[in-house]
Structure 1
Amino acid sequence: MNDLESWLSDSAILSRKSASELVFEELRNLILSGRFATGSKLPSEAKLAAKYGVSRPIVREALRSLQILGLTETRTGSGTYVLTAASDGNIRYGDYSARDLMEARPFVEVSAAGWAALRRNDDELSRLLGLCDRMEQEGDTEAWVRLDSDFHGLIAEASKNTVFRDIVDDVREAMAQQSGLLTALGPRRQESNEEHRAIVDAIRQGSEAKAQAAMEIHLKKVEAAVSRIIGAEPR
């Protein structure tokens, strides 16, 4: 029996409440520790589901999150393969690392929210409120992530600052990957909906200070959730 077969034969009991996150965390740790080496093929969804006593959709969410982080890739008709052990722990979303994204976002988006409160027009406010309504009603994760991306892009647009707008546009794909990871593995969707609503309410009031504070709270909570999932310490 090889090492992988030995690992599969060990029983694993997980809490159903956060099963996807727990499956993801163990697989991530196995990759980062080198037990699942670069280039190796992960066990099938069926074998992983049997090992953990969970459904295949739960395993699929965990595997999807590994792929979002760039740790694996899924090859159609072949399976899921380890891309990198990411030994420095600095997970990437495409061109940007998780660390770099979280360090940069507050400097752009907090100020953008403040300016949006002072400069937004009625159409932009109406669109922001509409996005909040749609996110609160949306049940599909991928559709919600697209709406989330639109929300942050629109706030930057409403700031009437082209530098903020262009920076947010440039990192929107990375932000969407981060958002997809959080909504797949935790309760962040409902929490984000509430935080988004607070940001828009402050923008509606025209309060620069409240809008900045609401966005800062939102980004701090995003950072804490990301840090928990990727195994890093928040600032």
Structure 2
Amino acid sequence: MNLSDSQTGGPVPRRVSAMEAVLTHLRDAIERGDHAVGDKLPSEAELCRRLEVSRPVLREALRALQAMGLTVSRTGKGTFVVAATVQDPTFGDYTAGDLLEVRRHVELPVAGYAALRRTPEDLDRLTRLLDRMERETDTTAWVAMDTVFHITVAEASQNPVFRRVIEEIRDALARQSAFLNELGGRREQSDREHRAILEALAAGSEHDAVDAMAHHLDRVETTLASIVRPERADTPTKGRPES
């Protein structure tokens, strides 16, 4: 079974990476019950052979399964299934739901205060950072700058407590960002959302800054939901309420 790169359907197809294809295959197998809760997954070598992918690709998929809460890796023993369905992905020490709840309570007022208190130096740092992000081709480097962007906005609020809170969840934010970019194709969209936040800060508009940050977090939530509970081709649509 060769899980090489393919494309999804739709009016604007997005390339599906080999890692995404492997993840989908393994996730479907777990949700179908082919690998029941408590079962150990085949070894990495065996999975690489079956799926015809490299070990780095497989390991990325296994990390994503663990972030989704479907599996756990036990040193020296292998990877074990611990849940049959995805509930709430975990990034480091925090679940996605907990992260989003805190971010809404912290980063919305942060954006508002930053619009009112930012200095020319703050705007210059954010502008240079975002310019680099939009040019960056390495995903790992971009993820690192993504977290720095949010910390720098917190610094612009001129309240050190806000910065400390964002610093506390920095690792989780980076893990979530990498997860969303790999599985949700979030990068370009995120750059646009960051640009809108920066423009609101530069204009000194508290209202627009809060709205821009709220939109950014809304899109994070929507993308997470699409990954956790993707639309299946065989999912019946009859009777689904209109949004």
TM-score category by the smaller chain?
A: 0.7 to 0.9
Question: How far is 1:161 from its partner?
Answer: 2.2
Which of 124, 137, 140 aligns to 1:139? It is 137
Question: How far is 1:174 from its partner?
Answer: 0.9
Q: Which structure 2 residue ranges, 5 or more long, are not aligned?
A: 8-14, 232-243
Question: How far is 1:96 from its partner?
Answer: 1.0
Question: How far is 1:208 from its partner?
Answer: 0.7
Question: How far is 1:116 from its partner?
Answer: 0.6
CA distance in 2, matches of 1:102, 1:133: 26
Matched, 1:197 2:195: yes
In structure 2, the residue corresponding to 1:40 is in which secondary structure?
coil
Question: How far is 1:82 from its partner?
Answer: 2.8
CA distance in 2, matches of 1:86, 1:154: 39
CA distance in 2, matches of 1:102, 1:86: 24
Per-residue CA deviations over 1:136-173 (Å, capped at 9, x if unaligned) read: 11111111111001011111111122332222111111
Kept in 1: contact 2:20–2:61 (CA 8 A) = yes
Kept in 2: contact 1:25–1:229 (CA 8 A) = no
TM-score, L = length of structure 1:
0.79
The residue aligned with 1:66 is 65
Q: Which structure 1 residue ranges, 5 or more long, are not aligned?
A: 1-7
The residue aligned with 1:100 is 98
Q: How does 1:138-177 map to 2 (within 5 A)?
A: 138-177=136-175
Structure number with higher relative contact order (C-alpha < 8 Å, ≥ 6 residues apart): 1
Aligned amino acid, residue 158 of structure 2 = K
In structure 1, the residue corresponding to 2:82 is in which secondary structure?
coil
Matched, 1:181 2:183: no
CA distance in 2, matches of 1:41, 1:65: 14
In structure 2, the residue corresponding to 1:157 is in which secondary structure?
helix
Question: How far is 1:95 from its partner?
Answer: 1.6
Question: How far is 1:86 from its partner?
Answer: 7.2
Per-residue CA deviations over 1:4-41 (Å, capped at 9, x if unaligned) read: xxxx7xx9898432244343234234446654344613
Does the C-alpha gap of structure 1 residues 202 and 26 become closer, same or farther in structure 2, counting only changes over 3 Å? Answer: same
CA distance in 1, matches of 2:67, 2:85: 17
Question: How far is 1:232 from its partner?
Answer: 8.0
Does the C-alpha gap of structure 1 residues 140 and 48 become closer, same or farther in structure 2, counting only changes over 3 Å? Answer: farther
Q: How does 1:28-39 map to 2 (within 5 A)?
A: 28-31=27-30, 35-36=34-35, 37-38=37-38
Kept in 2: contact 1:106–1:219 (CA 8 A) = yes
Does the C-alpha gap of structure 1 residues 169 and 195 become closer, same or farther in structure 2, counting only changes over 3 Å? Answer: same
Question: How far is 1:216 from its partner?
Answer: 0.7
CA distance in 2, matches of 1:208, 1:25: 42
Number of equivalences = 219
The residue aligned with 1:5 is none
Kept in 1: contact 2:67–2:89 (CA 8 A) = no
Q: Which has the higher helix share?
A: 1
Does the C-alpha gap of structure 1 residues 108 and 56 become closer, same or farther in structure 2, counting only changes over 3 Å? Answer: same
CA distance in 1, matches of 2:175, 2:151: 15
CA distance in 1, matches of 2:3, 2:142: 32
CA distance in 1, matches of 2:230, 2:102: 17
Question: How far is 1:63 from its partner?
Answer: 3.0
Which of 203, 222, 225 aligns to 2:223? It is 225
The residue aligned with 1:3 is none
CA distance in 2, matches of 1:59, 1:120: 44
CA distance in 2, matches of 1:121, 1:103: 28
Matched, 1:41 2:26: no
Runs of 4+ residues over 6 Å off in structure 1:
11-14, 54-57
Aligned amino acid, residue 41 of structure 2 = K
CA distance in 2, matches of 1:139, 1:42: 34
TM-score, L = length of structure 2:
0.76
Aligned amino acid, residue 152 of structure 1 = H
CA distance in 2, matches of 1:26, 1:61: 13
Aligned amino acid, residue 182 of structure 2 = A
